[in-house]
Amino acid sequence: MHKGVPVLLLLWCACFLCVFFCVSCTLMTAVRVFVFVFVFVAWCCCCCGLDAAAVAVSASSSSSSSEPVLARLVRDNSNCSFESHYPYQYVTYKTSEAPVIDGSLDEPLWQEVAWTRDFLDISGPDFPTPRFKTAAKIRWDDKHLYIGAYLQEPQIWATLTKHDSVIFHDNDFEVFVCPDGTSHYYKEFEMNALNTTWSLCLNKPYANNGYENSSRVFGKHGWDDPGLRSGVYVDGVLNDVNVVDKYWTVEIAFPLTALAYNTTANVPPTPGEYWRINFSRVEWHVFKNGSHYSKVPNTPEDNWVLAPTYKVAIHRPEYWAYLQFADTHVNGTSAVKDPDWTIRFLAMQLYYAELSFKMKSDRYSADLAEVEQYTPIPGALTRGCTGKISVSVDAEGKHYSAHVPDVSRRRVAVIRDDRYLIVHDT
């Protein structure tokens, strides 16, 4: 089981013998015995300590990896950054001049900042590269978040003209903003090349029984992104099947107060703070059907996103990109990773473990030992990357709230069965 231990024992024995014989040659018998006993005891303690740690690690890990224990100990204890899971991050610079919202990204405030990386297939980088390029830029001021996007497109096509239609039935550009990173009360916005828009507020993800608050559903009592402005610029001719188009660009001014509605986010944000954001582009396959475009029958849409959620499911805010706010000094700020990432990430690991446990057992569990085997990344919760995790569950096992403190116990991530995730000082 512990392949590493015999090697360790041999190493320690060799060490011990060396030290003992070197030292003993030069010493009197009494001192020799003392040194023997001292080194022997020290050796026993070390071996026991390592062995106990090794057992702890292998007990806490459900993987049957044959990797040497010592190597695993070193790696697991030195690396709780879960770097490879850290989402894409974009630094957004404040602007002292507001853009004209006409769809054209010609102002210096757009030209002077970097594009996001090109969008990827929603299922992740191992899936086909999108057929057309999509990228975005983001600026902000005390009142607005400004988004500009470029969508390469040879067949610019749009049909929906009624505000708050389900825009993704056309080709569209979509924005998702979760200002406080709780995955509750996030906002969604979709628009097509006709500048037709749809604004939604989700109290929580659909998978958690969230609902769409929009004027589509609730009429004038519904959420409608008050104060939002948008524009489209088309390089080509919209809906003309005889023209090979180049691209369309969109420009959107989101009022910050609307985005932050019913969240704990600060308005305006302070440089250094993070919001979570995601973009998506829905692209249908269309063909020239006489004088107009029609969707290719029985062909699903493509979903191209800034940060893959690894499933065709955009409503997983924990996978969304980090938007790091910065002052007006363009390119003067380096990206700084969220120092709470480890506990945020592990709180979500616990969330998914509890979810899988509930599917099997029809209840949530307060016993980490019982749940831990369902952690998507085996051993992530028990390898010592957090302080003591505590889960409290109601009597029927229907709801829970879990505390995931960092190793220094200064910060704690609190996750609930409804996916509400908040991090605060202890």
Ligand X SMILES: *[C@@H]1O[C@H](CO)[C@@H](O)[C@H](O)[C@H]1NC(C)=O
As given in the structure block, the two tokens for residue 128 are 């086909």
Contacts of 279 (CB under 8 A, 6+ apart): 116, 119, 134, 136, 147, 149, 173, 174, 175, 176, 305, 306
| Binding-site member from 183, 278, 342, 375 for ligand X (CB under 6 A) | 278
H, E, C per residue of 283-302: ECCEEEECCEEEECCCCCCE
Examine residue 385 and tell whether it contacts ligand X (CB under 6 A).
no
Can residue 79 be called a binding residue for ligand X (CB under 6 A)? yes
The least CB distance from residue 205 to ligand X, in Å, is: 9
Q: By CB under 6 A, tell whether 321 contacts ligand X.
A: yes
| CB closer to ligand X out of 201 and 371 | 201
Q: Which is nearer to ligand X, 232 or 350 (CB)?
A: 232
- Contact between 103 and ligand X by CB under 6 A: the answer reads yes
Bridge partners, residue 178, by sequence: 276
Q: Which two tokens stand for residue 141?
A: 């001021």
Contact 202, 320 (CB under 8 A): no
Q: Is 279 in the site for ligand X (CB under 6 A)?
A: yes
The dihedral built from the CA positions of residue 266, 268, 272 and 277, taken in this order, carries a sign that is positive
Stretch touching ligand X by CB under 6 A, among 27-35, 164-172, 266-274, 306-314: 306-314
Tell me which of 257, 289, 299, 373 binds ligand X, using CB under 6 A. Answer: 289
Span interacting with ligand X, options 125-133, 308-316, 337-345, 381-389, rule CB under 6 A: 308-316
**197 binds ligand X per the rule CB under 6 A:** yes
**Nearest approach, Cβ of residue 240 and ligand X (Å):** 16
Q: Quote the tokens at residue 130.
A: 């999108």
Which residues ranging from 198 to 257 are in contact with ligand X (CB under 6 A)?
201, 213, 218, 222-223, 229-232
- Pick the binder of ligand X from 84, 96, 334, 408 (CB under 6 A): 84
Comparing C-alpha atoms, which of 140, 408, 128 is closest to residue 259? 140
Between residues 112 and 394, which has the closer beta carbon with respect to ligand X?
A: 112
What minimum distance in Å lies between the beta carbon of 195 and ligand X? 4
Closest CB to ligand X among 233 and 400? Answer: 233
Omega of the bond leading into 308 within 30 degrees of 0 (cis): no
Residue 402 CA neighbour count, 13 Å, CB half: 31
Q: Is the preceding omega at residue 68 within 30 degrees of 0, hence cis?
A: no
| Stretch of 15-23, 83-91, 237-245, 345-353 contacting ligand X, by CB under 6 A | 83-91
At 117, list the tokens: 């990386």
Task: Measure the CA–CA gap between 167 and 160, rounded to whole angstroms.
Answer: 7
- Number of Cβ within 10 Å of residue 63's Cβ equals 11
Contact, 250 vs 230, CB < 8 A? yes
Sites of contact with ligand X (CB under 6 A): 78-79, 81, 83-84, 87-88, 102-103, 112, 114, 122, 184, 195, 197, 201, 213, 218, 222-223, 229-232, 262, 278-280, 289, 294, 297, 305-309, 313-314, 316, 319-321, 330-331
